[in-house]
Amino acid sequence: MANRSRRHLARQDADSRVPRYLQVASVLRRRIRDGIWSIGEKIATLEELEREFGVARVTVRQAIDLLQSEGLVKSFQGRGTFVTKAVENDRWLQLATDWEGLIGPIRDNVPHLLPSAEQPAPRIEEGDGIPAPAYVFIRSIQKRGSEPYAFARVHVAKHIHARNPKAFSSRVALAVLSEMDGIAISRAHQTLVIGAADMETARILGIALNAPTAEARCVVTDSNGVVIYVGEITYPGDCVRLNIELIEQD
């Protein structure tokens, strides 16, 4: 198990922006969640974790300190570290895997717009479609109660935005786009990657720098193959789940 954990962590570290102590903390958190260590039970020692993951002692201590700050464990001098709380399953945000599933939950959402001095060009990749002549850039956050849970950077084709700028300033852009008459949407494609919060994302979402995030990118094209919407939405990793029915019963 130690060799497998070390190899797994090495693979993660090789192509991840997530610091090693966060990777170690993630594994330990998962073990608590899965019941490998129950409440009141002593977890592996610092020496054992150091050997298992092939990391420095300070890295293990940082991981333990993070779990301690979350109330999951408590360390006692000379006795070790014990589990004090179970991991709560609060992955309430279900990422959609179809158009209606994407639009339905956000149709009535009110975005909190953020100022933007820059107007960057959208990231249009090979296969996305034909770029529109110009775009309007919109930055916003979505909140659940008073807590932010999504940081959106959206580009809407300028000729589309001009049709109803007021709506785009008061509602989620993708919902406005889906309800517009005279627009034939030929393709909507969404990808999801796991990343880590940079300084801006951490500040806006109120999460730790380099905390795990889920980054969704949605591209919408019209019947002429023109990209009329590019949305890049970042969510805290601990509130997101993706549920795909692989075999559906009749």
Do 172 and 150 contact (CB within 8 A), yes or no?
A: no
Inform me whether the pLDDT recorded for 1 exceeds 60.
no
Say what the pLDDT of residue 92 is: 62
Name which residue leads in pLDDT, 76 or 147. Answer: 76
Output the CA torsion 172→178→181→186 (10° steps).
140
Name which residue leads in pLDDT, 244 or 112. Answer: 112
Q: How far apart are CA 100 and CA 95, in angstroms?
A: 12
Convert the pLDDT of each residue in 46-99 to its tens digit: 999 999 999 999 999 999 998 988 889 999 999 999 999 887 656 666 777 788
Say what the pLDDT of residue 29 is: 86
Question: Is the domain of 31 the same as that of 127?
Answer: no
- Is 248 inside any structural domain? no
Domain that holds residue 195: 93-242
Distance of CA 59 to the CA centre of its chain: 24
The residue written with tokens 């797994």 in the block is: 8
Q: What is the CA radius of gyration of the chain?
A: 22
Convert the pLDDT of each residue in 95-144 to its tens digit: 777 888 888 888 888 899 999 878 899 999 999 999 999 999 999 999 98
Say what the pLDDT of residue 249 is: 61
Name which residue leads in pLDDT, 238 or 113. Answer: 113
pLDDT over 70 for what percent of the chain?
89
Question: Is the domain of 151 the same as that of 123?
Answer: yes
Question: Is the domain of 128 the same as that of 228?
Answer: yes
- Is 249 inside any structural domain? no
**Distant-in-sequence, close-in-space partners of 194: CB < 8 Å, separation ≥ 6:** 212, 213, 214, 215, 237
Question: Is the domain of 65 the same as that of 177?
Answer: no
Secondary structure of the chain in HEC code, one letter for each residue: CHHHHHHHHHHHHHCCCCCHHHHHHHHHHHHHHCCCCCCCCECCCHHHHHHHHCCCHHHHHHHHHHHHHCCCEEEECCCEEEECCCCCCCCCEEECCCHHHHHHHHCCCCCEEECCCCCCCCCCCCCCCEECCCEEEEEEEEEECCEEEEEEEEEEEHHHHCCCHHHHHHCCHHHHHHHCCCCCEEEEEEEEEEEECCHHHHHHHCCCCCCEEEEEEEEEEECCCEEEEEEEEEEEHHHEEECCCCCCCC
pLDDT bracket for residue 14 (50, 70, 90) = very low
User: pTM of the entire structure?
Assistant: 0.69
Name which residue leads in pLDDT, 11 or 201. Answer: 201
Question: Is the domain of 30 the same as that of 147?
Answer: no
Output the average pLDDT for the chain.
Answer: 86
Domain CATH for 73? 1.10.10.10
Say what the pLDDT of residue 147 is: 86
Domain CATH for 132? 3.40.1410.10
Counting beta carbons within 10 angstroms of the beta carbon of residue 127, is it exposed (0 to 12), middle (13 to 18) or buried (19 or more)? exposed
- Is 230 inside any structural domain? yes
Say what the pLDDT of residue 12 is: 47
Q: State both tokens at 114.
A: 């953020």
Choose among 239, 240, 236: nearest CA to 211.
236
Cα within 13 Å of Cα(28), Cβ side: 33
Among the candidates 25, 60, 83, a domain finishes at: 83
